[in-house]
């Protein structure tokens, strides 16, 4: 065993060993000794305040092209619904049988339907009823469903039992089928508000179940126990602490549900029991275009395409928002 000086640099010892034991033709490279300590390498800067869940979600969303594509499509749909006169000056109810199924011409880029109405104008104005029904119904079911689910999940016991059984009863009823039956009872009172109330009556169930599960997982957190220990009432804790922290899955589902309710309204109008013919809607135009499908299929394509793109935009937004608010979903 050779004598080794304790003060010798380990790097020099390694080079001496490889020089004496290495094989001919082999070059050995030894990395320089890293003088940076592990503590400095593993150190984390903690001067900045921790980011909230919503800040992290926005940081994720703004880097996703799908988010921006869906945002632009939703913005266009909202502009069509709120300010249709910006996009066309033609009255969608001004029809002339002399123009029945005429092709596109100057000022009428989509042509005319069987009644001689301008298809482009009806597509533009049809967004108002369809989007309005979707937005109002989503707002209604979110409030009702979140309230019922939050109360059931937070208080538990007999309150949870009763509300959960009621939820199960409504969950077993198909949305569109129930809406068809109820709308038949209000043939003389078919308005946008009527459709919203009917869809809201049977559409709150899924949000209620999602909210109940989220509240049950949050109500045992330490900050809830801390609020109870300082004397905060249960209702205050529920609305001030629990529900805001359970909002992520609710918002994610509500975004997708908005597109579902737009489709439900179009289905009811297509069957002739939704909005009356006096209200321009995509579902009503699709229904009327059936008779012209063989002669002029584009009469059906335009309102159906507008409906599909609008629903697709909300579904895409719901998917990307879910990924942003639920880190586990990104890994799946």
The model's pLDDT over 27-69, given as tens digits with 9 standing for 90+, comes to 555 555 555 555 555 555 555 555 667 778 888 888 889 999 9
Give the whole-angstrom CA distance, residue 133 versus residue 265: 7
- Per DSSP, the three-state class of 108 is strand
Three-state secondary structure of 214-270: HHHHHCCCHHHHHHHHCCCCHHHHHHHHHHHHCHHHHHHHHHHHHHHHHHHHHHHHH
- Per DSSP, the three-state class of 282 is helix
Give the whole-angstrom CA distance, residue 223 versus residue 208: 23
- In terms of C-beta distances under 8 Å and separation of at least 24 residues, what long-range contacts does 326-329 make, across chains too? 326/248, 326/249, 326/252
pTM over 0.85: no
Cross-strand bridge partners of residue 118: 112
Work out the mean pLDDT of the chain and round it to a whole number.
Answer: 82
Q: C-alpha dihedral over 72, 311, 77, 107, to 10 degrees?
A: 110
Give the whole-angstrom CA distance, residue 92 versus residue 109: 14
Cα-trace Rg, the chain:
31
Bigger pLDDT: 201 vs 45: 201
- Quote the pLDDT of residue 89: 86
Helix spans in 37-108 (H): 38-42, 53-61, 65-82
Q: For residue 77, what pLDDT band results from cuts at 50, 70 and 90?
A: very high
Mean pLDDT calculated for residue range 122-128: 91
251's tokens: 């918002």
Q: pLDDT tens for residues 85-113?
A: 899 888 888 888 888 888 888 888 888 88
- Per DSSP, the three-state class of 125 is helix
Q: Yes or no: say if 182 and 247 are a contact pair by the CB < 8 Å rule.
A: no
CA distances from residue 245 to 49, 219, 251 in whole angstroms, order as listed: 19, 10, 11
Q: Yes or no: say if 123 and 303 are a contact pair by the CB < 8 Å rule.
A: yes
Closest by CA position to 102, among listed 118, 91, 120, 87: 118
Domain ranges of the chain: 126-323
Bigger pLDDT: 3 vs 202: 202
Q: Give me the residue label for tokens 């068809």.
A: 180
Helices 247-270 and 192-203, axial angle in degrees (round to 10): 130
User: What is the per-residue DSSP string for 193-219?
Assistant: HHHHHHHHHHHSHHHHHHHHHHHHHHT
Give the whole-angstrom CA distance, residue 43 versus residue 37: 10
- Per DSSP, the three-state class of 93 is coil
Q: pLDDT tens for residues 247-305?
A: 888 988 898 899 899 999 999 988 888 888 888 889 888 988 887 778 888 888 999 99
Closest by CA position to 304, among listed 87, 119, 47, 91: 119
Give the whole-angstrom CA distance, residue 145 versus residue 156: 16
Q: Is 1.10.357.10 the CATH classification of the domain at 126-323?
A: no
Is a pLDDT exceeding 90 seen at residue 309?
yes
Give the whole-angstrom CA distance, residue 231 versus residue 220: 16
């Amino acid at each position: 065993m050779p004598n080794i000086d304790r003060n010798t640099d380990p790097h020099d010892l390694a080079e001496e060993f490889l020089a004496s034991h290495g094989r001919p033709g082999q070059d050995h490279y030894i990395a320089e000794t890293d003088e940076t300590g592990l503590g400095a390498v593993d150190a984390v800067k903690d001067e900045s305040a921790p980011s909230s869940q919503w800040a992290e979600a926005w940081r994720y969303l703004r880097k996703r092209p799908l988010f921006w594509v869906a945002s632009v499509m939703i913005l266009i749909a909202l502009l069509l619904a709120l300010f249709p006169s910006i996009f066309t000056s033609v009255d969608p109810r001004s029809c002339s049988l002399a123009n029945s199924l005429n092709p596109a011409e100057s000022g009428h880029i989509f042509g005319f339907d069987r009644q001689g109405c301008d298809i482009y104008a009806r597509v533009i104005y049809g967004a108002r009823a369809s989007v309005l029904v979707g937005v109002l119904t989503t707002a209604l079911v979110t409030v009702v469903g979140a309230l019922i689910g939050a109360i059931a999940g937070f208080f538990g016991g007999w309150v949870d039992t009763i509300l959960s059984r009621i939820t199960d009863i409504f969950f077993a009823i198909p949305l569109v089928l129930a809406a068809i039956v109820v709308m038949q009872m209000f043939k003389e009172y078919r308005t946008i508000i009527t459709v919203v109330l009917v869809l809201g009556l049977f559409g709150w169930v899924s949000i209620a179940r999602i909210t109940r599960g989220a509240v049950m997982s949050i109500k045992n957190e330490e900050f809830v126990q801390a609020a109870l220990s300082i004397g905060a009432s249960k209702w205050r804790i529920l609305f001030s602490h629990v529900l805001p922290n359970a909002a992520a899955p609710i918002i994610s589902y509500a975004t997708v549900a908005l597109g579902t309710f737009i489709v439900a309204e179009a289905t009811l109008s297509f069957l002739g029991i939704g909005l009356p013919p006096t209200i321009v809607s995509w579902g009503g135009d699709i229904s009327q275009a059936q008779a012209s499908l063989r002669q002029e299929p584009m009469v059906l394509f335009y309102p159906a395409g507008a409906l599909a793109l609008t629903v697709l935009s909300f579904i895409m937004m719901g998917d990307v928002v879910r990924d942003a608010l639920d880190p586990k979903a990104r890994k799946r």
